[in-house]
């Protein structure tokens, strides 16, 4: 029963998660020096705790979809310290 309680949220998240769009790449700040700024993007992972990695990936994909919808083709994410909890994901979208 306890396993089911843990698996149900994971299955629901997987069913709702949308993939990253094609045609949008991630880059470093140095790689976009000659690119045109499009917009700032801020997203929040939908889940935390044991499902934090899945929530972070879904938030990154949401940022990439937002960039694509705005005409951007490159996204620079703020650096996150490995293992640190992420409650807000910040990025900047560019057209290169």
**pLDDT per residue over 42-63, tens digit each?**
998 887 688 778 888 999 999 9
Residue 18: the pLDDT is 66
Rounded to the nearest integer, the mean pLDDT of the chain is 83
Report the DSSP beta bridge partners of residue 42: 90
CB atoms closer than 10 angstroms to residue 74 = 20
Domains and CATH numbers, the chain: 2-95 (3.30.110)
Bigger pLDDT: 52 vs 37: 37
Residue 72: the pLDDT is 97
Question: Measuring CA to CA, how many Å separate 31 from each of 43, 45, 57, 61, 76?
Answer: 22, 26, 22, 20, 9
Whole-angstrom Cα distance, residue 46 to residue 44? 6
């Amino acid at each position: 029963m306890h396993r089911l309680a843990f698996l149900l949220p994971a299955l629901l998240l997987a069913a709702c998660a949308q993939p990253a769009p094609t045609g949008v790449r991630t880059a470093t700040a140095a790689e976009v020096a000659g690119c045109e700024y499009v917009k700032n993007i801020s997203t929040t992972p939908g889940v935390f705790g044991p499902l934090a990695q899945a929530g972070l990936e879904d938030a990154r994909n949401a940022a990439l979809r937002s960039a694509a919808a705005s005409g951007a083709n490159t996204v620079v994410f703020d650096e996150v310290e490995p293992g640190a909890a992420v409650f807000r994901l910040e990025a900047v979208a560019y057209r290169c």
